[in-house]
A and B are shown apart, each in its own frame.
Chain A
Amino acid sequence: MSYLDVQKIRKDFPNLGVNIYGKPLVYLDNAATTLKPNVVINAVTEHLTHGVSNVHRGVHYLSEQATLSFEDARQKVKHFINARRIQEIIFTRGATESINLVAQSYGRNTLQEGDEIIISQMEHHSNIVPWQILCQQVGAILKVVPINSSGEFIFDEYVKLLSSKTRIVSIVYVSNSLGTVNPVKRIIDAAHHKGALVMVDAAQAVSHEAIDVQALNCDFLVFSGHKVFGPTGVGVLYGKESILEDMPPYQTGGDMIRTVNFSGSTYNSLPYRFEAGTPAIAEVIGLGAALDYVSSIGFEAMTKHKEELLAHGTRVLSMISGLRIIGTASIKTSIISFTVEGVHPHDLGTIVDEEGVAIRTGHHCTQPVMEFFGIPATARASLAFYNTQDEIDVLAKAIVKAKAVFHA
């Protein structure tokens, strides 16, 4: 039983129609970046073909139209994550820049020596390094919540790390290398109880489930457009208005100022204060189209289909001898990381590529996770709602072929 007309949906993604070495592409690298539907391609193309202009500047027709389209995309983001106001939606280059913005603008101006920041063992490097830098700058201390052998966040250990010194908790919603879905609501409530702010890295979560920042009550939330079927080069920082209001600019230049003279400058209001320079206009418009597209399909149907894919993938891959799945959390998304005895992940990646199968191999920018499991790297199949069980079977066959090459 299928909840989606997947064959119809696949026609929305022209990239799915390409051949790799003469074989149909099997794209299972959606955690790295998702493919783009026609509506996104068309929105970007339309702006670049007939609508080019800068935003927030000109009085001429195209500039006004571009500004309207750009701000319309901001409304769509606000609606998509259920923010209260558009002032809370800041466009950045991506989740990475959003995290750096919070660390440097909020963290550097608020934290003091001895203050504590909590992250987890399963964070992406982009949610580790900005905090390490901040700790070096202000003398704060980074604490790490451990994970268990299934790749789950150990909540009891987290509670032990929380204290009156905790100022920021920055946690990944869905792990990119393990697929684990973290109990972010509980994590946020516990942090607030101690007076700490919480930032949620929703880079993977944004394409996996409906996000409601008001229900979560997170203080910041970040994601990238390209992981939710939008273009690269655009991301979002959501922040509670009351917190953003007091934060100084991160980068400075055009668009973020109100007045400039040589005795000093005053800054623009939210959200523009954090959007220095000409933004990625076409990409922001494309992101708006992507969110409309996701909403039109609906998370419920997508999630049910992906649950079936995950169950099928887990079953089929587990049947291959010597294959070990890394990340077996009881609540996880359709990401399957694995190792195959006798075949290094990079060799596996190259051999399945010959069959047209695109998977990610490596440490997935989560070296502490690899260290925890005592492995240098994994292969990872990450499934989107346009993937099919047949595609997973192609992957399984390709893995068996790789094993034969290596006599594993």
Chain B
Amino acid sequence: MRDELYQQTILEHNRHPRNFRKMTDATYSAEGYNPLCGDHLWVYIKLDQQQLIQEVSFEGSGCAISKASASMMTAALKGKTIEKANVLFHEFHDLVIGKLDPRTQPHHLDKLAVFSGIWQYPSRVKCASLGWHTLHAALEKKSTVSTE
């Protein structure tokens, strides 16, 4: 049997997504779209004078996995440097494809490790990573990204 996908943390973030709003004064933003399932979201980042992530938010529509993942991403990124955000992006990417086992390998994922079982649901991996790919596109100054 596969690990339970819909854990309480994920269901809770789906029901009450954090930082779920449009940001009009964002430093960087990008649009993410998954044409396969119609998940569609925008990610906004605002940097302070020290180039720390002062605020990060998202909006859009999608399944519980994509929404909870984006919500938890915003909570994890606040106050971090762009370098740290990129480290988390790569670690999260490795986590959802099953390359990083949070129980045996070092990581900085903290609560994001709740997505560790998602590699067992291949069709849902792109749902979990949509917010992160959109963040990555924003930081790379690409305006749109699509995951399939």
Interface, chain A (partner B; CB < 8 A): 21-22, 344-347, 350-351, 361-363, 370, 376-377, 405-407
With A350-B121, A351-B6, A406-B11 as given contacts, are A361 and B64 in contact (CB-CB < 8 Å)?
A: no
With A350-B5, A405-B6 as given contacts, are A344 and B64 in contact (CB-CB < 8 Å)?
A: yes
**How many of B's residues come within 8 Å of A, CB to CB?**
20
List, in ascending order, chain A residues with CB within 8 A of B61's CB: 376
List, in ascending order, chain A residues with CB within 8 A of B65's CB: 346-347
With A362-B37, A377-B37, A405-B6 as given contacts, are A344 and B63 in contact (CB-CB < 8 Å)?
A: yes
Total contacts A-B at CB 8 Å: 45
B40, A346: Cβ atoms closer than 8 Å? no
Q: For chain B residues 1-49, which have a beta carbon within 8 Å of chain A? A: 1-2, 5-6, 11, 14-15, 36-40
Give chain A nearest CB distance to B96 CB in angstroms: 15
Q: Does B62 contact A (CB under 8 A)?
A: yes
List, in ascending order, chain B residues with CB within 8 A of A344's CB: 62-64
Q: Name the contact of B39 in the complex, choosing from A350, A351, A370, A376 (C-beta under 8 A).
A: A376
Q: Does B70 contact A (CB under 8 A)?
A: no
Q: CA–CA, A362 to B148, complex, Å? A: 13
Q: CA–CA, A406 to B67, complex, Å? A: 13
Interface string of B63-78 (1 = CB under 8 A from A): 1110000000000000
A-B contact pairs, 24 of them (CB 8 A): A21-B1, A21-B2, A22-B1, A344-B62, A346-B37, A346-B127, A347-B6, A347-B63, A347-B64, A351-B6, A361-B37, A362-B36, A362-B37, A362-B38, A363-B37, A363-B38, A376-B37, A376-B38, A376-B39, A376-B62, A405-B11, A406-B11, A406-B14, A407-B15
Q: Does B93 contact A (CB under 8 A)?
A: no
Give chain B nearest CB distance to A358 CB in angstroms: 12
With A350-B5, A406-B11 as given contacts, are A377 and B38 in contact (CB-CB < 8 Å)?
A: yes
For A349, the closest partner residue in chain B by CB is B123
List, in ascending order, chain B residues with CB within 8 A of A347's CB: 6, 63-65
Q: Does B124 contact A (CB under 8 A)?
A: yes
List, in ascending order, chain A residues with CB within 8 A of B127's CB: 346
Give chain B nearest CB distance to A245 CB in angstroms: 40
15 further A-B pairs in the complex, CB-CB below 8 A; given A347-B65, A363-B38: A22-B1, A346-B39, A346-B65, A346-B127, A347-B63, A347-B64, A361-B37, A362-B37, A376-B37, A376-B38, A376-B39, A405-B11, A406-B6, A406-B14, A407-B11
